[in-house]
Amino acid sequence: MIAAETWKPVVGYEGRYEVSSLGRVKSLPRKDIRGRTIRGRMLAQITHPSGHIQVKLSLDGACKQGRVHRIVMLAFAGAQPAGCEVCHNDGNPANNSLTNLRWGTRSENLYDRVRHGTHHMANRTHCPQQHPYSTANTYVTSDGRRMCRECLRIRNAQTRALKLKEKQAWT
């Protein structure tokens, strides 16, 4: 079932722009300084290199770019809680539907990136020494970090050799 599209005023731009629950932004019909009617239109959406969608909003000659996911959340969910940011439930920053957005902490947003497979460290297939992160060669710590078993084996062997050398120096 497809949700019906509802429109609400853009916070800070009431009477000039509206945002929909599906993540679309439109300008409203208005009069310019000469009294001519300017009809409303859908705003062009610009994709930021991060994948987030932006639109240009202007008020009293000042032009600002706003990220659509924030515009949607401010209009439909209210003010941003302290320490929170907008999280995309499906991990797609271009999906700005209200049903895909929620307020969450920075930590929750980073965990979402790992869960969706978009975190830069979660995508790595080899450790810094180029050993593969295979099932047999990967140790996962209690806090969820991955460690290369081959690197651990080498480091432990070096530590044992160093301790043996120190022990021999004392005798």
pLDDT tens profile 16-46: 999 999 999 999 998 888 999 989 999 999 9
The pLDDT of residue 119: 74
For range 53-79, the mean pLDDT: 93
Retrieve residue 120's tokens: 């830069």
The pLDDT of residue 61: 82
Residue 79, pLDDT > 90, answer yes
The pLDDT of residue 111: 85
Confidence class of residue 3 from pLDDT cuts 50, 70 and 90?
low
Residue 1, pLDDT > 60, answer no
User: Is the pLDDT higher at 118 or at 138?
Assistant: 138
Mean pLDDT value across the chain: 90
- 25, 19 in Cβ contact below 8 A? yes
Tell me how far CA of residue 108 lies from CA of 24, 66, 102, in angstroms: 26, 23, 11
* DSSP character at residue 42: B
Burial (CB count <10 Å: 0-12, 13-18, 19+), residue 85: middle
The pLDDT of residue 60: 84
**1-120: CATH architecture:** Alpha-Beta Complex (3.90)
Q: Would you kindly state where each structural domain of the chain is located, as residue ranges?
A: 1-120, 124-171
